A and B are shown apart, each in its own frame.
Chain A
Amino acid sequence: MGATGLATPYLTLAAILFCIGLYGALSKKNAVIVLLSIELMLNSVNLNLVAFSKYGVKPGLTGQMFSLFNITVAAAEAAVGIAILIALYRNKGTTDVNEMDSMKR
Chain B
Amino acid sequence: MVSAYSQYAWLIPLFPLLSFLILTAAGRTLRGAGPYISIVAAFASFVLAVLIFWERVSGGVEDFTWNKLQWLRLGDTSLTMGFEVTNLNALMLVVVTLVSLLVNIYSTGYMHDDERIHVFFAYIALFTFSMLGLVISENLVQLFIFWELVGVCSFLLVGFWYFKPEARAAAKKAFIVTRVGDVGLFLGMLLLFWVMPEHSLSFSAITNAFNQGQIPEATATWIAILIFIGAMGKSGQFPLHTWLPDAMEGPTPISALIHAATMVAAGVYLVARTYPIFMEAPTALTVVAAVGAFTAIFAATIGTAQNDIKRILAYSTVSQLGYMMMALGIGTSVALTAGIFHLFTHAFFKALLFLGAGSVIHAVHTQDIHEMGGVGRHMKVTAWTFAVGALALSGIFPLSGFWSKDAILTEALVQGHPVLFAVGLIAAFFTAFYMSRLFFLVFTGTSRSPQGGHAHESPVSMTFPLMVLAVLAVAAGFVFTPFNPWLGGWLTGEAHEEHANYLVMVLSTLAGLLGIGLGYLMYYKQSVRSDLVSGPAPGLYTLLSRKYYIDELYQLVIVRPLQGIGSLLHLFDVYVVDGVVRLCSYAVTGAGRLGSRMQNGQVQTYGLATLLGLLILMLALAGRRFIDAG
A interface vs B, CB < 8 Å?
A: 22, 25-27, 34, 97-98, 100-105
Q: Do A104 and B603 touch across chains, with their CB atoms under 8 A apart?
A: no
**Which 8 pairs of residues, A with B, have the shortest CB-CB distance?**
A104-B601, A101-B601, A103-B601, A26-B604, A101-B602, A26-B608, A26-B607, A104-B600
Q: Do A101 and B604 touch across chains, with their CB atoms under 8 A apart?
A: no
Known: A22-B611, A101-B602, A105-B601. 5 other contacts (CB 8 A): A26-B607, A102-B601, A103-B603, A104-B599, A104-B600
Q: Do B607 and A25 touch across chains, with their CB atoms under 8 A apart?
A: yes
CB neighbours (8 Å) of B603 from chain A are: 97, 100, 103
- In the assembly, what is the distance between CA of A52 and CA of B321, in Å? 103
- In the assembly, what is the distance between CA of A84 and CA of B607, in Å? 19
- In the assembly, what is the distance between CA of A27 and CA of B611, in Å? 13
- In the assembly, what is the distance between CA of A90 and CA of B429, in Å? 113
Q: List 26 A-B contacts (CB under 8 A).
A: A22-B611, A25-B604, A25-B607, A26-B604, A26-B607, A26-B608, A26-B611, A27-B604, A34-B604, A97-B602, A97-B603, A97-B604, A98-B602, A100-B602, A100-B603, A101-B600, A101-B601, A101-B602, A102-B601, A103-B601, A103-B603, A104-B599, A104-B600, A104-B601, A104-B602, A105-B601
CB neighbours (8 Å) of B599 from chain A are: 104
* Chain A: CB-nearest residue to B610: A26
- In the assembly, what is the distance between CA of A89 and CA of B611, in Å? 28
- In the assembly, what is the distance between CA of A16 and CA of B611, in Å? 16
* Chain B: CB-nearest residue to A22: B611
Contact-residue size bin, chain B (C-beta under 8 Å from the other chain): under 10
* Chain B: CB-nearest residue to A29: B604
A41 CB to nearest chain B CB (Å): 11
Interface residues of B in 555-606 (CB under 8 A from A): 599-604
- In the assembly, what is the distance between CA of A22 and CA of B607, in Å? 9
CB neighbours (8 Å) of A22 from chain B are: 611
CB neighbours (8 Å) of B602 from chain A are: 97-98, 100-101, 104
A57 CB to nearest chain B CB (Å): 21
A81 CB to nearest chain B CB (Å): 12
CB neighbours (8 Å) of A100 from chain B are: 602-603
CB neighbours (8 Å) of A27 from chain B are: 604
* Chain B: CB-nearest residue to A98: B602
* Chain B: CB-nearest residue to A97: B604
A33 CB to nearest chain B CB (Å): 12
- In the assembly, what is the distance between CA of A100 and CA of B604, in Å? 10
Max chain A Cβ within 10 angstroms of own Cβ: one of B599, B602, B607, B608: B602
* Chain A: CB-nearest residue to B602: A101
CB neighbours (8 Å) of A103 from chain B are: 601, 603
- In the assembly, what is the distance between CA of A105 and CA of B601, in Å? 8
CB neighbours (8 Å) of A101 from chain B are: 600-602
Q: Mark B538-570, 1 if CB is under 8 A from A, else 0.
A: 000000000000000000000000000000000
A20 CB to nearest chain B CB (Å): 14
- In the assembly, what is the distance between CA of A97 and CA of B602, in Å? 7
CB neighbours (8 Å) of B608 from chain A are: 26
- In the assembly, what is the distance between CA of A50 and CA of B143, in Å? 93
* Chain B: CB-nearest residue to A101: B601
- In the assembly, what is the distance between CA of A100 and CA of B611, in Å? 20
A93 CB to nearest chain B CB (Å): 18
- In the assembly, what is the distance between CA of A25 and CA of B604, in Å? 7
